[in-house]
Structure 1
Amino acid sequence: MSADDLREVLRFIAYDSGYPAALAALARLTDLEREHALPAPTGQGHEVNANGTGSPIPEPMRQAVAALDAPFGIYMDLQSRMRADMRLLSVRERTFITMTVDVLFQTLQESFRAHLMRALGAGATPEEARAVVRFSTQFGMTKAWRAMHVLDALLTELGTARG
């Protein structure tokens, strides 16, 4: 993974993990690159669409969020739109990353469902989705255990559970 790829991962998860944590990780990455004379990033990134409209979030979810709190919905659209043009990581890789964040933060309702649906839509299999949750056990067994229950229920609902 290149320095640019790592930075894209950190910029991508900032939306879900929180900007202070992502900023600290970017600073630490820069320190490690200097300390170990690692290749610096080339600056390859993505166009930030801060002034556009819309969002890559599915319309029913956008409507539900706007109905909950309109200013929050506007902010969510902006944040999702700003990272929508990232291309160093595939959609599948990005969904696996966000599913992992969901497991660690226990955001296992709307967010986890949306990320799972996007992963399956990008060609991930149910077993690969299970592998993402299993990967998360290294950061918290009980969190992954709870997530595995939620994943199993979602896959059953979708008719893709193990037979």
Structure 2
Amino acid sequence: MSTTTETAAPANLRRLAGVDPVFAQMVGATARHVRAIPELTDREKTFLCVTADVCQASLGFAFEAHIRAGLTAGVSTSDIRALLRFISYDCGYHAATTGFERLAEFEAQNGITPGEVEPLTEDVLTTGPGAAPSPLPAGVRGRLRELDEHFLEFFDLQSRLRSGHGPGTISERERGFASLSIDVHYQTLHETFHAHVGRALRGGASREDVRAALRFNAQFGVTRAWEGWRALNAYFAELDQAT
């Protein structure tokens, strides 16, 4: 854990102690344990925290504390906006909208102006003729087509909407960690979980890095993480058998 993150934590815990001092001790001990995980950067830890907040509708004190901890570690609110745009179709636009509303309130209260971003082009926003090519792998599109043609079209659209890699966007490794964590929150631990673990690995994460992301997620619900471990270990065993 960086020095800046360490200095942010006591202030958050002091505020929480005003609500319940014993609970603040519990939170502090838990945070120290997971924040010490060495394979993840402070930026990745912030992204995982904010993703958990949005998925679990925890947009009060915890959300604000995670934003403040991120700011002290060099993660801007523009970075968090990029994350919210990215996770929106996995967590749901309704959930992401609430996250944006709360983030905008935080920015206004603290005099923060988010950075400007380029609008999406028309070929990304449309479907059918004239639409940009789908960034989805052919195998994934084939499985989606078997489910439903309209769902495939919807999935193509969503993939185009968040396919940008310009300034202010997040790396493939970070995308993989955020996406697989959403699977753990929602317990969608089959095809999508496998795809998102694969994204993290393609982005340069090692298996131990992926395990670190799951270790970090234990603080957001130990029983969900338990099921995540069962799925991850089984998937890695499948990969080993295939080689």
Question: Taking structure 2 as the reference length, what is the TM-score of the superposition?
Answer: 0.62
Query: Secondary structure of the residue that 2:136 maps to in structure 1?
Result: coil
> Match for residue 9 of structure 1?
83
Distance 2:142 2:119 in 1: 27
Structure 1 residue 33 corresponds to structure 2 residue 120: no
> Match for residue 155 of structure 1?
236
Structure 1 residue 70 corresponds to structure 2 residue 149: yes
Structure 1 residue 50 corresponds to structure 2 residue 141: no
Query: Secondary structure of the residue that 2:231 maps to in structure 1?
Result: helix
Distance 2:156 2:82 in 1: 19
Deviates most, 93-102 or 55-64: 55-64
Distance 2:173 2:119 in 1: 18
Aligned pairs, how many? 159
1:66, 1:73 within 8 Å by CA — same for their partners in 2? yes
How far the C-alpha of 1:5 sits from its partner, in A, is: 0.8
> Match for residue 194 of structure 2?
113
Distance 1:123 1:63 in 2: 26
Distance 1:72 1:155 in 2: 29
How far the C-alpha of 1:53 sits from its partner, in A, is: 3.7
CA deviation digits over 1:11-55, x for unaligned, max 9? 111110000110001010010111122x21111356351232432
Q: Percent same amino acid among aligned pairs? A: 40
2:176, 2:198 within 8 Å by CA — same for their partners in 1? no
**Residue 159 of structure 2, aligned match among 80, 101, 117:** 80
2:136, 2:159 within 8 Å by CA — same for their partners in 1? yes
Distance 2:201 2:133 in 1: 23
1:144 counterpart letter in structure 2: A
Q: Which is greater in Rg? A: 2
CA RMSD of aligned residues (A): 1.6
How far the C-alpha of 1:72 sits from its partner, in A, is: 0.6
1:4, 1:44 within 8 Å by CA — same for their partners in 2? no
Query: Secondary structure of the residue that 1:159 maps to in structure 2?
Result: helix
Distance of aligned partners of 1:96 and 1:115 in 2 relative to their CA distance in 1, 3 Å threshold: same
Distance 1:99 1:46 in 2: 27
> Match for residue 34 of structure 2?
none
Distance 1:28 1:35 in 2: 11
Distance 1:116 1:84 in 2: 18
CA deviation digits over 1:80-99, x for unaligned, max 9? 11111144211111111111
Question: Taking structure 1 as the reference length, what is the TM-score of the superposition?
Answer: 0.91
> Match for residue 46 of structure 2?
none
Runs of 5+ unmatched residues, structure 1: none
